[in-house]
Amino acid sequence: MRLRMNIRNKLLFSILLVLLVSYAILAVTTFKSVNYALEAQVSKNLEENLRYAQSQLFARADLITYSLSQPTTAPPVQKYIRTSNRPWLTDAVQRWRKTIPFVEVLSLVDPQKRVLTRLGSGTSDRLAGLEYAMEQAFRTRNTVVSTELVSREFLEQEGGVAITPSTLKENEAMVMVVAMPVIAPDGTLLGGVLAGDIINNDPNLPFQVQEVFGKEVEVTITQRGHRIASSVAEEIPIPVSIDAAIMERLERRIPYRGEAKIGNSFYETVFAPIANLRGEVIGSLSVALSNDYFTRIKRDNMRNIMASGAIGVFLSFGLAYLMARRLTRPLTDLTRGVEQIEAGELDQRVVVTSADEFGMLADSFNRMASTLYERERTITRKTQDLQRLNEELERRVAERTVALRMEMGMLEAILTSMAEGIVVTDRDNHVTLFNPSAQKLFDLVPHRVMHQPIEQVCDLGGFCMLLEHIHAVRAGEGPTPREEELRVKGRKLKVSLSPLIDEAGAFAGVVMSIRDVTMEEEVDRMKTEFISTVSHELKTPLTSMKGSLQFILSKGKWLTKTERELLSICQRNTDRLIRLINDILDISTIEAGGMQFAFGQVSIGELVVYACEEIKGFAQGRNISIVSDVATDLPAVWGDHDRLIQVLTNLLSNAVKFSPSGKTVLVSALRKGNYVTVSVADVGRAIQWSDRDKLFKKFQQLGSSDPRERSGTGLGLAICKEIVERHHGRIFYESGAAGGNVFSFAIPVYEETLHEQ
């Protein structure tokens, strides 16, 4: 049985459906707006809480700085620091501790960072764990504040309180360090004060934040992923020890903002890394807001929205019922007219005299035919519009095709006009491009090489020695791009090989760029010969000038002070020019293969002693100490005694020249396989990455603000490189593990049986 409903009920239900849909949309949009507002408030609260927590973390450092800045500037304190009056300074440190009782580490040091007095009972005179902080304070002449990790042994030696193992994490503690230089009124550095506050012993910071922002805030301080202060219960793990992605961002010093799980609950969190003075991340500071709090707010808002909607729907239902009864009275006349049309009287029209919606319905029924006609016209117009858009698309495709053809033509013109030869192979190792420069270099015509295997082309062009490198590039072995040199038909060529990668990242072929450097090599040879000739011509008159100046200075007792000083300057400059010419002649002789080497059995220890004695006077003039750490049981090497001393002396001279006054240059040697490696290490400023490629090239000097450091020929390291390579060894540079520079060279070990044969 088919259920029939009258117009009034249908109208009533339709109105109710519209109301329900409207209220549902309103509820959804309102709920989304509330969620957006809550998320914005969460982000704002997290940032405010984090800033406050960070200020609380560094508040005590500011208090320590303020508390120590006044007594360290007092004349009596500076007087006793200058005279190293340890009893008086020990009593002063105890008094300062009463002013800042939360400080666990408090030490006074002299300008050499030797401890004058400390709170703890340690006997060492060094700041074993925090010398770097004090060194930074001395260098900048300003107070340095940082967060550092120190060992338990350091705290027991430096600190004034006992350290329990429960407060340590992996036998370390996080300390807020304040390093303050003590500077006299005349600017003299008298010493320094090192103070520290152990964060592991102070879990109150999170609760101070909660007093301001409420108990919904959860604050945590971690040390290498271990909680040391937190408002979260101890049995609940913190997010840092769970989510590796958070730790990875913090280790790159990038703050984290997002959702994290703490225990069985989810929190909106923000993590800030805590780094030490060297920039290493040693922990984190995090602030979290529980999602339960915001869930309650959302639930309350949703309940209010639903209550308001229910009341509105109930009132609308009553109003719709009354309006439906009134509007359905004219339906009888409208139904009768429709039945006539249904009976076959198609020329009939529905006539309703009322001017309300039913009259409009009758008019709509009568206009239905014309509406169908209008709809057909609309469909035709849309079809025409689609056809026009299709024609526009075809026109744009044609224009883009022309542009691509122009680009291809431009690329082809560039490759054709290039002076360098370009050869490209596909993934099957067949030649797909062989430009005119490559054809000229290898004397090949295009039809003999295009789409041919590269092995066949190599046979025709005479560069088969390149096949091994092509196969290495195809296999992904070695560096890319790789540079190779080969000689073909009396010409020296430099070849750069690079893999060709398609859009999917797969290997698609090899690109080879070939350049003829025969003329460049000839120009270099001519330049070297010219420099050598000029140097020979200059050396004789300069030697005569030097002898004349020496004779005048030794015999000219009648010279005035000014005249003698000017002649001395001339003699020094003459010596410098002679050294420059000797270096140029040495490098020219080595490159030309004319330098003779007297190879024999050489003792490394003896080389180091001779070189240190030769450079001793120069080192003493710059207040530099040279220390030898060469073992006596090292095997002898096979080389030229004088030339190896020249290499070692040059390296020692550079180390002394670029080391700060009062520092030490270390010479060491050890055996590595069939080689003995000699190293010269200094503590000067490390060479920048951009300058390291220039180290062993001729006439290359590194930039420096001190003109004395730029003096020299720029040939010393180049000569060392040539001498070491003639010994079948190698010379190289490394940065020091603790700063500075290390230059090393390796020489083959003397094998008696081999040389006897």
Kindly tell me if the per-residue pLDDT of 578 is higher than 70. Answer: no
Q: Structure tokens of 737? A: 């593990």
At a CB cut-off of 8 Å and minimum separation 6, what does 294 contact?
38, 42, 268
Strand pairing category for 664-672 and 625-630: parallel
**Average pLDDT for 423-452:** 77
3 state SS of 110: coil
Distance CA 269, CA 242 (A): 14
Give the tens place of pLDDT for each residue, 43-53.
777 787 778 87
Q: Structure tokens of 250? A: 């913090």
Nearest to 127 by CA among 196, 211, 69: 196
Kindly tell me if the per-residue pLDDT of 757 is higher than 70. Answer: no
Number of residues in the chain: 757
pLDDT at residue 238, as a whole number:
47
pLDDT at residue 6, as a whole number:
64
- Cα 674 to Cα 97, 411, 728, 729: the distances in Å are 60, 53, 12, 11
pLDDT at residue 202, as a whole number:
65
Q: Nearest 5 degrees, angle CA 419-CA 423-CA 428?
A: 170
Kindly tell me if the per-residue pLDDT of 607 is higher than 80. Answer: yes
Kindly tell me if the per-residue pLDDT of 490 is higher than 60. Answer: yes
> Beta-carbon neighbour count of residue 132 at 10 Å?
19
Q: Structure tokens of 85? A: 């009056």
Distance CA 332, CA 341 (A): 15
Kindly tell me if the per-residue pLDDT of 756 is higher than 50. Answer: no
Tell me the backbone φ, ψ of residue 164, rounded to 5 degrees.
-90, 145
Concatenated DSSP letters for 488-507? ETTEEEEEEEEEEE-TTS-E
* pLDDT winner (highest mean) among 160-164, 596-600, 709-713: 596-600
Q: Structure tokens of 677? A: 């490696």
Distance CA 550, CA 568 (A): 9
Distance CA 418, CA 406 (A): 18
Nearest to 196 by CA among 24, 329, 371, 64: 64
Q: What share of the chain is helix, strand, coil (3-state, %, to 5)?
A: 55, 25, 25
190 vs 513, higher pLDDT: 190
Cis peptide before 481 (omega within 30 of 0): yes
Mean pLDDT of the chain: 76
Query: Token pair 């004395």 is at which residue?
Result: 708
pLDDT at residue 562, as a whole number:
80
Distance CA 430, CA 460 (A): 14
pLDDT at residue 308, as a whole number:
75
pLDDT at residue 705, as a whole number:
45
Least confident of 221-225, 291-295, 668-672: 291-295
With pLDDT > 90 as the criterion, what percentage of the chain qualifies?
3
Nearest to 120 by CA among 130, 135, 133: 130
> Are 151 and 167 within 8 A, CB to CB?
no
Give the tens place of pLDDT for each residue, 383-416.
888 888 898 898 889 888 888 888 877 877 776 6
CB-count burial class (<10 Å; 0-12, 13-18, 19+) for 218? buried
pLDDT at residue 413, as a whole number:
72
- Cα 684 to Cα 107, 439, 660, 690: the distances in Å are 29, 53, 6, 17
> Which band of pLDDT confidence, cut at 50, 70 and 90, is reported for residue 677?
very high
Q: Structure tokens of 56? A: 């609380």
pLDDT at residue 118, as a whole number:
85
